[in-house]
Amino acid sequence: MPSSCPARRVAAALAGVLLVSASLAISSSVEARELSVSTVLSDAFPWGQAAEKWAERVAERSGGELTLRVYPNSQLVSGDQTREFSAMRSGLIDAAVGSTINWSPQVPELNLFSLPFFMPDVESVDAVTGGAAGEMVFEAIASRGVVPLAWGENGFRQLSNSQGPIDEPADLEGLKIRVVGSPLFQDTFTALGANPTQMSWADAKPALTTGAVDGQENPLSVFDVARIDQVGQEHLTLWNYMNDPLVFAVNRQVWESLSEQERTILRESAEEAGAWEIAMTREEEPARLAAIQERGVTVTELDEAQHQAFVEATEAVHDEWVPRIGEAIVEAARSDMQPD
């Protein structure tokens, strides 16, 4: 049956093509890799948007072979944001865009950014993150089994409350202020005469609603998007008492399992996402402040003498915490902030 031979050869060839195609598809699916990324806030906030931008850039640059799946609202640590770094270090989380505040219990050097009234403006923050002190902080993170890749920004934290305007330390006397789970925050607000009350962000809004706490401190983006003015926070003081840079980072074992190309994609995409988010956060602040004022919030801005009073009231906090953070890092940061 010679006439059937060509048909058989065609069928065999088609079968071979299909087999190769199937093998390539299986190989492609095996090679594609997804990493989990933890964030505290969703993409309604700049913080969450930074993580989503990172994921977007990684997917684009890798052609979908490496993807990041973002888990907002501290889902991967059951809502306890202070456990994020430990979970990433142990490998329960592959990567994160995290807060220097939330990671400071495991990396004490990160408390550099929480020293009260240490970095007065964004130029100072940029000088530190881009200078010798920033390199030393990244080395400290790396020494704990996590690879830092880039900086982002949650912004300067401002103070709000339900009781009245605050423009001097005496105005804080006895006020219950919600703070994150960092001993440095406890010490700072205690030094100012307040009653600091530690609780997660998930618990903060209900506590403000019921009056269990009188006030809180957060960047303008959080105050605006979370509509904190709707839970009795009618007074806002702009005091820039500390800044909270974000850090893009990856678990070390995950990092070492990646190819050089994948590492380059992850790092460069993080740098791009971080730069984008920092610029966006800063550009949006004037409009956010205007929107907050339009909603009836009383905004207090400190003059130089008022600001200095808060600086002096927290000097003892510096005396106690600089040795814990590391004299060398603090001195490097001071040097970074000095004008040329």
CATH of the domain at 67: 3.40.190.170
Structural domain contains residue 17: no
Q: What pLDDT is attached to residue 9?
A: 53
Find the helix or strand (DSSP H, E) in which 242 lies: none
Q: What pLDDT is attached to residue 3?
A: 41
Structural domain contains residue 6: no
Structural domain contains residue 26: no
Structural domain contains residue 231: yes
Structural domain contains residue 315: yes
Residue 168 — left, alpha, or beta (φ > 0 → left; ψ -120 to 50 → alpha)?
Answer: beta
Q: What pLDDT is attached to residue 279?
A: 97
Q: What pLDDT is attached to residue 293?
A: 97
Is residue 271 within 8 Å of 150, Cβ to Cβ?
yes
**Domain region containing 324:** 33-337
Total structural domains within the chain: 1
How many CB atoms are closer than 10 A to CB 121? 12
pLDDT < 50: residue spans in the chain: 1-7, 10-30
Q: What pLDDT is attached to residue 242?
A: 97
Structural domain contains residue 114: yes
16: its two tokens: 């071979």
Structural domain contains residue 27: no
Structural domain contains residue 278: yes
3-state SS class at 45: coil
Q: How is residue 300 annotated by DSSP?
A: E
Indicate the Cα dihedral angle 58, 49, 74, 247, nearest 10°: 70
Is residue 97 within 8 Å of 37, Cβ to Cβ?
yes
